[in-house]
Amino acid sequence: MDAGIRDEWIRRMDDAVAEVFRSMLECDCAAVEESPGPGPGILASITFSGTMEAHCVVEFPSSTAKILTSAFLASDETDWDDAMIGDAVGELCNMIAGGWKRRLGPPAQASDLSIPCISRVPAGSRDRGTKKPDGMLVRRAYAFDAAPFVVCLSMD
Amino acid sequence: MRILIVDDSVVMRKIVEGALRHAGLELTEAQHAANGAEGLAALEDAAARGELFDLILCDVHMPVLDGLGFLREKSQRNLGPGTPVVMITADSSDPHLLQAIDAGAQGYIAKPFTLEQVQTRVASLLSSAAGNASSHHSLPPTSPAAHTLGGR
């Protein structure tokens, strides 16, 4: 990937992620050096189709996903069921993908976003992101309230 | 005030309901539907009771029946005529959003949103829909203490 394009992707990704946390939760969320450990987790993925073929995947350790769910619902509860946690992670993925798409401008803006697809991953097998030979891939770790997660954007 | 929230995400339905309550709306009923088909069923049930919702908030992309399908069916079946519909979307450049506006939605709220944005948009929408300054739809000034959705 051209370094300039990669930097631009990262900047837009950072902005999209920060916007979601600032608007919905009024908290900071910034890129961090260290990715989450290899524990069990939950993934949400959204596919861009049409004028742009791309994927947005967010990867949450189980503990971070519970924190996110509590934050979205403004609750002290920590014992969420899987469906609720998947919903929260899917919503976050949806908003990050939408924000990133909006920042790309045309013609990418005319592409369609899929409904979030949620999957669970056992310890040690978290998706590392894949790209086609001519594709582009950006994988970046973030943290809010010291809770880490990863966002992966790839374009075919 | 009676509202219907149509969204496949339980989390987003709860967030939206909480945002409206903290925006100052006195909700006597907040009914939730997980897709457009459930939303239509809720409208039919309300009609059978001789009731109307005051506001419908509807996601754009949902399984079973999406927001556009919901709007078209609602119109064809004359369910909840006059009830304003505001779309909720994470993709404000979505072509489906324009189609939804063409199909009868009065506006949209883009995710992510702040409490002030929800308050402003809903107040504007209700004011336009009612065409008057009916007091039960008016919203109080924004409370500085209630700015965050997470701080509900």
* C-alpha to C-alpha distance for B89 and B62, rounded to whole angstroms: 11
Query: Do B10 and A112 lie within an 8 Å CB cutoff?
Result: no
Question: Which residues of chain B, if any, have pLDDT below 50?
Answer: 132-152
CA-CA distances (angstroms) from residue B48 to B39, B58, B69?
Answer: 14, 21, 22
Query: Do B94 and A20 lie within an 8 Å CB cutoff?
Result: no
At B77, list the tokens: 């079946």
How far is B31 from chain A, CA to nearest CA, in Å?
17
pLDDT classification of A130: cutoffs 50, 70, 90 = low
Cβ-nearest to A26 among B89, B96, B148: B148
What pLDDT digit, counting tens, does each position of A79-93 carry?
899 999 999 999 999
What integer is the mean pLDDT of A117-140? 74
- A126 pLDDT higher than 70: no
What integer is the mean pLDDT of A11-34? 95
SS3 state at B55: strand
How far is A75 from chain B, CA to nearest CA, in Å?
8
Query: Do B150 and A71 lie within an 8 Å CB cutoff?
Result: yes
- A78 pLDDT higher than 80: yes
Q: What is the pTM of this model?
A: 0.87
B126 to chain A, any CB pair closer than 8 A? The answer is no
Query: Do A24 and B11 lie within an 8 Å CB cutoff?
Result: no
Query: Percent of chain A, pLDDT > 70?
Result: 92
* pLDDT number for residue B84: 93
Residue ranges making up the domain that contains A17? 3-155
* pLDDT number for residue B95: 81
* pLDDT number for residue A133: 60
* pLDDT number for residue B98: 87
Residue with tokens 């049930």: B45
Please give the residue of chain B at the shortest CA–CA distance from A107: B93
Domain count, chain A: 1
* pLDDT number for residue A81: 94
The answer to whether residues B125 and B101 touch, using CB atoms and an 8 Å cutoff, is no
Query: Do A95 and B151 lie within an 8 Å CB cutoff?
Result: no
* pLDDT number for residue A131: 55
The answer to whether residues A137 and A129 touch, using CB atoms and an 8 Å cutoff, is yes
* pLDDT number for residue A30: 95
Cβ-nearest to A24 among B94, B95, B150: B150
Q: Which of B114, B134, B116, B112 is nearest to B55 (CA)?
A: B134
Q: Which of B22, B8, B62, B56 is nearest to A113 (CA)?
A: B62
CATH number for the domain harbouring residue A47: 3.40.1550.10
Cβ-nearest to B9 among A19, A91, A110: A91
Distance, first Cα to last Cα, chain A: 12
A4 or A131, which is more confident: A4
- A10-43 as b/e, with b when 16 or more CB fall inside 10 Å? eebbbebbbbbbebbbeeebeebeebbeeeebbb
A37 or B8, which is more confident: B8
